[in-house]
């Protein structure tokens, strides 16, 4: 990353663009995922799209998976022949089975799974009903579980792998008005830690990302005045970028994190400090 002049809250980080990553990779500076095959869910936009582009620039073959088939195809098109778009419903086991089958037929193996897909409908406990709970848990919890189960066999056959599950800062502390969402993200953390222990002997590493307030389409659906207000919450005094989340996911997915298992990595501008 490029670092601009420091202000009252420290240096301002300017992440590389996908073009810059590609150029540096071609020049031999990159390649942290050379020879790897990665599945990334929720990759049609936001954090998932940034992860797909960065992973490809780092040498990986990438499956761009999303319920939004058109968006997934568009992201894959920007990457090129090393990307495979796939229309995935994370809450359906048959959809995951088809994804794994297609990935193996196309790329021959699976090294990395980034469970990034998620939904966010913030309401308080008083406003939450069973339908809202089910909505969050089907995507944010069941989807993560099904993804891990779906790739386990392929990773075992490959001698191991890396799974990165996206939780949230709301999965590490309480927040007002996020009852169902926060509950689902706490569940992701719990499942991930148990899976990390159970799969460690198989050389399958499971870790968790805890994004804070990140400038994504999901967050952008909120009122602009609200966004301006919450951007001041972190000590960094700004929202995070999708590129910064992608860099964190890259570390956990790469061999640089070979002894990192069951960890929570917070990318929050100090919000959880």
pLDDT tens digit sequence for 52-66: 999 999 999 999 999
Q: Does the structure show a pLDDT above 50 at 4?
A: no
CB-CB contact of 207 with 189 (8 Å): no
Q: Given the residues 120, 181, 226, 251, select the one marked as catalytic.
A: 181
Q: Does the structure show a pLDDT above 60 at 13?
A: no
Over residues 245-269, the mean pLDDT reads 96
The rounded radius of gyration (Å) of the Cα atoms in the chain is 18
- CA 73 to chain centroid, in Å, comes to 18
Q: Is 226 a residue of the active site?
A: no
Q: State the pLDDT confidence band at 7, using cuts at 50, 70 and 90.
A: very low
Q: What is the pLDDT of residue 9?
A: 41
pLDDT digits (tens, 9 = 90+) for 21-48: 556 555 555 699 999 999 999 999 999 9
pLDDT digits (tens, 9 = 90+) for 151-165: 999 999 999 999 999
Q: What is the pLDDT of residue 232?
A: 82
pTM, entire model: 0.86
CB-CB contact of 56 with 43 (8 Å): no
């Amino acid at each position: 990353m490029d670092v601009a002049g420091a202000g009252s809250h420290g240096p301002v980080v300017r992440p590389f663009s996908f073009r810059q990553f590609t150029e540096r990779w071609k020049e031999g500076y990159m390649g942290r995922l050379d020879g790897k095959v990665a599945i990334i869910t929720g990759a049609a936009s936001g954090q998932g799209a940034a992860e797909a582009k960065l992973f490809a620039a780092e040498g990986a073959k990438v499956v761009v998976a999303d319920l939004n088939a058109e968006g997934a195809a568009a992201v894959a098109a920007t990457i090129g022949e090393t990307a495979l778009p796939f229309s995935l419903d994370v809450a359906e086991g048959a959809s995951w089975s088809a994804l794994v089958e297609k990935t193996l037929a196309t790329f021959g193996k699976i090294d990395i799974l980034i469970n990034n897909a998620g939904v966010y409908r913030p309401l308080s406990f008083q406003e939450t009903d069973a339908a809202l709970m089910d909505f969050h848990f089907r995507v944010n919890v069941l989807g993560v579980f099904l993804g891990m189960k779906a790739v386990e066999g392929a990773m075992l056959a490959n001698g191991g792998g890396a799974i990165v599950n996206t939780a949230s800062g709301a999965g590490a502390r309480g927040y007002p008005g996020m009852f169902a969402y926060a509950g689902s993200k706490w569940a992701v953390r719990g499942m991930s830690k148990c899976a990390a222990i159970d799969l460690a002997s198989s050389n399958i590493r499971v870790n968790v990302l805890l994004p804070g307030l990140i400038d994504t389409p999901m967050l952008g659906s909120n009122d602009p005045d609200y966004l301006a207000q919450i951007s001041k919450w972190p000590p960094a005094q700004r929202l995070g970028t999708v590129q910064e989340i992608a860099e964190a996911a890259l570390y956990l997915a790469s061999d640089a994190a070979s002894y990192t298992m069951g960890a929570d990595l917070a990318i929050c501008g100090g919000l959880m400090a």
